[in-house]
Amino acid sequence: MNCLGSLLRGSWSCLWGLVLLLSFHVSVPAQSEPSNAPFDVLAGQQPIKVGAVDYLKLDEFLVRFGLKASWLEPEKRRRFESAWTNIEFEIDSREISYNGLRVFLGEGVLWRANEILVAVLDAQHLLAPLLKPAEFSNLIQPVHRIVIDAGHGGKDGGTTNAKLKMMEKTFALDVSKRLGAILSSQGFEVVYTRSDDTYLSLAERAVAANAAQADLFVSVHFNAAGKTSVNGVETYAMTPQHQRSTSSAESDPSDSNLEPGNIHSAMNAVLGFSMHRALLQKLKASDRGLKRARFAVLRLAECPAVLVEAGYLSNGKEAQKIATKAYRAEIAEGLANGITAYANQLAALKLAP
């Protein structure tokens, strides 16, 4: 195993600073994301402009994937299903259920002129990759080298549970090392952004992944909320260019910036879903959703990347579970299962005729 975090200490610090200077990416406004996905989501449909957003007819789009439509509630909740897939949409909501998991769109689906509409960008960067990843095979890169990023560290303790004397940075590192050990035993090459209680800036973490030429980047975190009753697992992938993040109520001009993390939009969706599903299956935790964010580590990563919030330290019951080695081992196993499933899926797609 390698540890790029070790380069930040001693006589290597100047060299690392040079790597950081040469590797750091500055976001710049761009008109459109590179055409890195050959799949034509419109397929003859004319986009329907609502405000500043382009939409398409959802029924016409999903029938192309063999999904049959039915109303759960007329003009309110619509289901699309096949033998393998079940997707439920609610009018004016950004949240959908995809095979029983909470997944968040960039824009809410709309009801206009007796048609349910979905944003073209949601169709392109979320629904199509999940439904037919083979259409994005030109983006597929086999997974060999995985960079694991233990959140926070050093002077940055992350979130805390003062009552239980718990610090996020400690548990993030523990889970990351457990995850790395599992992946190494499976034949993957593992690189850590930090392997001890070292402080790294957010940009340095992404630079470490890029310098290592990672095939996949996973950032491990724990969460906190003002309401102590909140609990569960969240998974984040990079927000596609021209879309607002899940936490954003309105669009912002900066949403149009083209970032390094946008290059792998399709695979970000596939990886995010695989990780979220596997973690929930392992932990049986509350589903807080697969979401989108422009966190620096996701924004600057030049490979498929996710950030996982594996539980809430602010929730007493969940925090007590996280404090146990057995539960942290389960978190690591869940993350490893998601990575393995993703890697196997990509390998199968590459081998397909």
Domain presence at residue 11 = no
My answer on whether 150 and 223 are in the same domain is: yes
In a domain, 116, yes or no: yes
For residue 54, give its domain range. 48-131
Beta strands 189-192; 145-150: pairing state: parallel
pLDDT one-digit tens code per residue, 180-189: 999 999 999 9
Provide the CATH number for the domain around residue 230: 3.40.630.40
CA distance linking residue 31 with residue 264, whole number of Å: 17
List Cα–Cα distances, 34 to 37, 159, 213, 217, 302, in angstroms. 8, 37, 21, 21, 14
Residue 55 lies in a domain: yes
Which CATH number characterizes residue 77's domain? 3.30.457.10
Q: Are residues 213 and 310 in the same domain?
A: yes
Interval 225-283: pLDDT, tens: 999 999 999 999 999 999 999 999 999 999 999 999 999 999 999 999 999 999 999 99
| Verdict on whether the full-model pTM lies above 0.75 | yes
Residue among 88, 93, 13, 30 at smallest CA distance from 257: 30
Residues 88 and 149 in one domain: no
Kindly tell me if the per-residue pLDDT of 76 is higher than 80.
yes
pLDDT for residue 140 = 85
Interatomic CA distance for residues 311 and 332, integer angstroms: 13
Provide the pLDDT confidence category of residue 38 given band limits of 50, 70 and 90: low
- For the stretch 324-351, pLDDT in tens is 999 999 999 999 999 999 999 999 987 7
Q: Does residue 284 form part of some domain?
A: yes
Lowest mean pLDDT among 26-30, 43-47, 268-272: 26-30
Listing DSSP states for 134-195 in one string gives GGGGGG-----EEEEEE--BTTB--SEETTTTEEHHHHHHHHHHHHHHHHHHTT-EEEES-S
**Does residue 195 belong to any structural domain of this protein?**
yes
For the stretch 145-167, pLDDT in tens is: 999 999 999 999 999 998 888 99
Identify whether 174 is part of a domain: yes
Does 111 score more than 80 pLDDT? yes
Query: How confident is the model at residue 7, as a pLDDT?
Result: 34
Total domains present in the chain: 2
The answer on 173 and 53 residing in a single domain is no
Whether residue 212 contacts residue 333, with contact meaning beta carbons closer than 8 Å, is answered with no
Answer with the one of 109, 131, 153 that is the final residue of a domain.
131
Q: Do residues 309 and 233 lie in contact, with contact meaning Cβ atoms separated by under 8 Å? A: yes
Is residue 295 over pLDDT 90?
yes
Quick one: 193 and 123 in the same domain?
A: no
Residues 314 and 291 reside in one and the same domain: yes
Asked whether the beta carbons of 268 and 261 are under 8 A apart, the reply is yes
Together in a domain, 117 and 173: no
* pLDDT > 70: percent of the chain: 88
The order of strands in the sheet holding 110-112 is 48-50, 53-57, 115-119, 110-112
Residue 210 covered by a domain: yes
Check residue 173 and give its pLDDT. Answer: 98
CB within 8 Å of 162: residues ≥ 6 apart:
none
Domain closes at, from 77, 111, 131: 131
Residue 32 has what pLDDT? 43
In a domain, 337, yes or no: yes
**Do 127 and 142 fall within a single domain?**
no
Q: Are residues 117 and 151 in the same domain?
A: no
